[in-house]
Structure 1
Amino acid sequence: IMESSLSTEILTLDRVAKELIGKGKQDMEWSEIESAWREKENLEKIAEYCLKDSELALELGEKLLPQIFEICKIVGQTPFDISRMSYSQLVEWLLIRKAFQRGEVVPRRPKHEEIQKRRMSPPYTGGYVLEPKEGIYSNIALFDFRSLYPSIIITHNISPETLDCTICEECKRGESRKNTDPDGKHYYCTIRTGFIPQTIRELVEERMEIKKRMKKLDKTSEEYKKLKIRQHVLKIMANSSYGYYGYPGSRWYSRVCAQSAASWGRFYIKKVIEMAKAKGYTVIYGDTDSLFVKMKSKKEALEFLKETNASLPGLIELDFQGIYKSGIFVSAKTGGGAKKRYALMDFEGNITIRGFERVRRDWSKIAKITQERVLEVVLKDESPEKAVKMVKDVIDKLKRHEVRKEDLVIYSQITKRIGEYEQIGPHVIAAQKAIKAGRKIEVGSVISYIITKGPGSISSRAEPVDTAKDYDEEYYIKHQVIPAALRILSGLGYTEKDLYGEQEKGQTSLKGFLQK
């Protein structure tokens, strides 16, 4: 339930620990663990490795448990249940608690048939996305709306009982029509405050009050730390409320309310984009509640922020996140997969990555390292050409068989019994060979293998790392290094032929991708 508040997109122990407590796992390759266990040598190193993992888990627990306990206080459920609930379930139990306190009737839980019917409904239009003009940019200001959807629900009083209200005399006279959603289909009462908007408002107002108190406290004090956890949990709960209207299992389900909130979200992001364009700024990319704009300085960004917020109603407010020295943007159409695909570098050289999926278990170390270096070169040197040369150097090393064996290992987990696999991938073949060699492979085992040279399919040439004598350079070039590099470079106009071919078409024209 804490995933949305993390910067990392990879929920490994190492990445989460580095972000939350500032330290990661002890370096030890899986092949080293296997070898030490099999040979019964250096077992103390495995013990140290496991001890470090346990210490990290304990420290993470000490860090996260107070947040879970704080959610328990707000929602009124046990830690066991809280840690297994979805965001929508957390919101529902909060609403049930609030309804009881106010003497409101709690709607019945929908039956299975009703839930299935809701799930079969066609999807409605979500957030607005302004696809980026791909390339490298400098001086990028990042803005995002502060809790956009909760703010919309509160500001426009979006709730099932305020929808198309005909109870209030003012609504009967049409006075609430001024609060009609941008799609022009539904309006919301401006006289009675809805149950859900009121509940969310209480969360938001309590958080604002806590933040005021925090400013007066010493940051090292226990009270400050407790309040910091409380305000963070209140933020999580408020931000989770939007998805609840469209959650099929919701007691307060309202597809119309979800659609209206989404339409106002599109309206406000488009409004801010148009305001930026009207002032002559280049809007590089916009997505749901955030936008990236080329601006010369922080002062310029803050002036735009002040003017923009003066035009926004109610609690809807734009936040300035900072100015970045450089960034690379790739559209979803080019890169495939994730909607958000960009990397930013601040003026201290720190890199923030979204959507490039640097870490995948089915990528070898050589592929991961290559992609990381491509990003660094592109952002720090603003030189795609230098990045391409670096990739070509890696390819040449692979061709000359100068790459270390440990940099070629691919790791895959066995998720079922070997005989139950219908599709026989490389990891299954490698596992079968390991079993024949006398190794014990069970469900949950991680198999490490290398793709070797020879006849047959790629899968048939997967060899357990301890028996692999050589590697297939063509496989590692075409299926590992090039795809990893092109996740970034394809957005700058490069193709596989540019990285692995005699022709170097497009090199001169690619200068246009450097958006100064």
Structure 2
Amino acid sequence: PREQIPIRLGENMAGLKYGVHIDLYKFFMNRSIQVYAFSDRYREHTLQEVASSILGEGKVEIEKPVSKLSVHDLAEYCFRDADLTYRLTEFDDDLVMKLLMVLSRIAIMPIEDVNRYGVSKWILSLLRYEHRRRGMLIPNPEDILRMKGETVTRAVIKGKKYRGAIVQQPVPGAHFNVVVLDFASLYPSIIRNWNLSYETVRCPHEECMDNRVPGTPHWVCKKRRGLMSLVIGSLRDLRIMWYKPLSKDKRLPEESRRWYSVVQGALKVILNASYGVFGSDIFPLYCPPLAESTTAIGRYAMTETVKRAVGLGINVIYGDTDSVFLENPSKEQIEELLDWAERELRIKLDVDKVYRYAVFSERKKNYFGVYPDGTVDIKGLTGKKRHVPPFLKKAFFELVEILRTVKREEDLEEAKEKIRDLVSSYYQKLREKKIPLKDLAFYVMLSQAPEKYATRPQHVKAALQLKATGVELGAGDIIGFVKVRGERGVKPVQLASVDEVDVEKYIEHMRSMFEQVLDALGIDFD
């Protein structure tokens, strides 16, 4: 009978009549979880990608459609899927389940809703709870807009409503003994210290209008503490002053440190999204001047810090949002800059990283740093990205290995010669068509069946060619394709031959990847 079926189906969800249903697909698809809880360890949201990235083990590989498998092979395939799903909840001492539980407590939401919804819903639930607890009216979105108005700064990035973080132009080249200073929880600290909230920004009190937000016509209330400032400030203090230090305290038992690490990680997820929700027009407490004021103060903090560093005689080689890169500063200069930031900006500045040396091109958000122990830190460079063909990725990491061995400025010239030989070697292999097809392939996941796409990006073109041969394809399938000469431009790797490969296109990809580093080292690709 229908009433005995324990599963309840909704429009976009399934629930249990007598239990809790956790949909791990939605959990791992949550961008905040992916970035802040798992440091972007996975890029796609398939079971294969998530499990192989986190557990180091993937699904059972099959060479024919599931419908064609024998009963034994099907059972093995399904059992592995179920086992991987379970292990994703229990790895690292039940990290995922503990994270969900802590987020549920912070957001004042049922654990199923935390799992189903994004971070903006978590923050909204918490703020609504605090409104009700204090007997405050929850305003309508149109009332906030009518009273507070829109933004006044012009966005640098197309499609954004207001100007965001500042990114300093890097000084190209190789720089030794690079110290990176970082503002601890920059935006949550700004919200806390500057009393930013939808009701305090552009408050109705004339006596507060002299309390201006730098670089904007906005002002902040001096007469009352804002709810957003209080809530986010409290969560920020709990993370920075309590849970994060405890998670690293070696005097505590391992079990306690693990728990504190989970809590500080959950707080980080919410804090890092806390300012952005107020700049989203679908958020019920949407307040453009609040989001704009937060980024304006962030830009002010960055520019003033750079000015102060230069005034102290430090060479600033790069700055990005909440980090300042300094070349060979003395210990005294660093300490003076840290003290100044806390005193003048009311934001804590810490030493985040120290590189033996770092290489910058003229491009922003693209650099390569080597720690004193030889570990490499790569930011934004194409060769690291997941969809790059295997031969380019291999060439890139060979380049990284050469640069990793550089310890002094004198070592750079020898490294440059090795890099020239490396680039020349791969260039010749491409020209002579000595690279196997599988190493030339781009691998991209389908988000839906290929025929359902409104446009025809390259991986979809290849998928449609493959489907025409009788191969069943759908959402989650990985398409490997190579770039070929002719009208089609691409072919699935299964149907292509080496002679069809468009060598010129691959050389352009190779040029684009290598030049990000070669330009900084003064090496010409040609």
The TM tier, using the shorter chain, reads: 0.7 to 0.9
- 1:457 pairs, out of 484, 487, 512, with 487
The partner residue of 2:380 within 355, 361, 374 is: 355
On the 8 A contact 1:367/1:481 being kept in 2, the answer is yes
Measured in 1, the distance between the counterparts of 2:319 and 2:519 equals 20
| 1:144 Cα deviation after fit | 0.9
Give the deviation of 1:79 after TM superposition: 2.3
Structure-2 change in CA distance of 1:133 and 1:465 (3 Å): same
Letter in 1 for 2:328: M
Q: Which stretch has the larger CA shift, 255-264 or 410-419?
A: 410-419
Name the CA distance, whole Å, in 2 between partners of 1:361 and 1:239: 25
Q: Do the aligned residues in 1 keep the contact of 2:462 with 2:479 (CA within 8 Å)?
A: yes
Q: Match for 2:118 among 56, 77, 86?
A: 86
Measured in 2, the distance between the counterparts of 1:14 and 1:134 equals 39
Q: What amino acid sits opposite 1:283 in the alignment?
A: V
Secondary structure, counterpart of 2:238 in structure 1: helix
- Give secondary structure in 2 for the equivalent of 1:129: coil
Quote the offset at 1:139 in angstroms: 1.0
* Residues 1:390 and 2:422 aligned together: yes
Amino acid at match of 1:57: L
SS for the counterpart of 1:326 is: strand
Shift in Å at residue 37 of structure 1? 8.9
Counterparts of 1:49 and 1:491, CA distance in 2: 47
Gaps of 5+ in 1: 333-338, 502-516
Cα 1:468–1:343 change in 2 (3 A) is same
Partner in structure 1 of residue 23 of structure 2: none
Task: Report the AA paired with residue 183 of structure 2.
Answer: F
Match of 2:322 among 289, 300, 313: 289
Q: Does the 8 Å CA contact 2:123/2:270 hold for their aligned counterparts?
A: yes
CA 1:425 to 1:320, structure 2 compared with 1: closer, same or farther past 3 Å?
Answer: closer
Counterpart position of 2:441: 409
What is the distance in 1 between the residues matched to 2:99 and 2:369?
A: 30
Q: State the AA in 2 paired with 1:259.
A: E
1:190 to 199, 211, 222: 222
State which drifts further: 423-432 or 280-289: 423-432
State how 1:31-430 maps to structure 2 within 5 Å.
33-34=62-63, 54=85, 57-59=88-90, 62-108=94-140, 123-167=161-205, 172=206, 174=207, 176=208, 179-183=211-215, 185-207=217-239, 208-211=241-244, 218-295=251-328, 299-300=331-332, 302-314=334-346, 316-332=347-363, 340-358=365-383, 360=385, 362-381=387-406, 382=412, 383-419=415-451, 424=456, 426-430=458-462
- Counterparts in 2 of 1:248 and 1:429: CA distance versus 1, 3 Å: closer
Pairwise CA distance, 1:93: 1.2
Q: CA deviation at 1:238?
A: 2.9
CA gap of 1:26–1:136, structure 2 versus 1, over 3 A, is farther
Separation in 2, partners of 1:429, 1:236? 37
For residues 212 and 163 of structure 1, the distance between their equivalents in structure 2, rounded to whole angstroms, comes to 32
How far is 1:270 from its partner?
Answer: 1.1
SS at 1:292's partner residue? strand
Please say if residues 150 and 238 of structure 1, whose CA atoms lie closer than 8 Å, have aligned partners that are also in contact.
Answer: yes
Matched AA of 1:138: F
Counterpart code for 2:309 = A
Aligned letter for 1:71?
L
SS of 1:401's partner is coil
Partners of 1:446 and 1:120 in 2: CA distance: 44
| Distance in 2, Cα, partners of 1:66 & 1:326 | 39
Q: What letter corresponds to residue 86 of structure 1 in structure 2?
A: G
Write the letter of the residue equivalent to 1:147: S
Distance 1:399 1:346, change over 3 A: same
Between the aligned partners of 1:351 and 1:52, the Cα distance in structure 2 is: 34
Give 1:490 deviation, angstroms: 4.3
Q: In 2, distance between residues paired with 1:394 and 1:270?
A: 42
Sequence identity (%): 25
SS in 2 for 1:283: strand
Contact 2:172 2:362 in 1 (8 A): yes
Structure 1 residues 391 and 188, CA, compared in 2 at 3 Å: closer, same or farther?
A: same
Which amino acid counterpart does residue 352 of structure 1 have in structure 2? D
Q: Give the conservation status (yes or no) of the 8 Å contact 1:309–1:317.
A: yes
Contact 2:437–2:493 under 8 Å retained in 1:
no
Alignment CA distance shift 1:85-1:131 (3 Å): farther
What CA distance in whole angstroms lies between the structure 1 residues aligned with 2:333 and 2:51?
Answer: 33
Question: In 1, are the aligned partners of 2:451 and 2:464 still within 8 Å (CA)?
Answer: no
Q: Is the 8 A contact 1:327 1:344 kept in 2?
A: yes
Instruction: Tell me what 2:14 maps to.
Output: none
Query: Is the Cα–Cα contact under 8 Å of residues 324 and 346 in structure 1 kept in the other structure?
Result: yes
Offset of 1:40 from its aligned partner? 8.4
Aligned equivalents of 2:86, 2:519: Cα separation in 1: 41
* 1:477-514 per-position Cα deviation (integer Å, ceiling 9, x unaligned): 424433332343345555xxx43x5xxxxxxxxxxxxx
Aligned residues: 471
Q: Which moved more, 1:230-239 or 1:259-268?
A: 230-239
Distance in 1 between the 2:232 and 2:451 partners? Answer: 52
Unaligned runs of 5+ in 2: 1-31, 155-160, 407-411
Partner-residue secondary structure (3-state), 1:273: helix
* Kept after mapping to 1: 8 A contact 2:153/2:163: no
Residue aligned with 1:266, SS: helix
Q: How far off is 1:248 after superposition? A: 1.2
* 1:134 and 1:328 in contact (8 A); partners too: yes
Paired with 1:318 and 1:18, the residues of 2 have a C-alpha distance of 37
User: Which amino acid is the alignment partner of residue 372 of structure 2?
Assistant: F
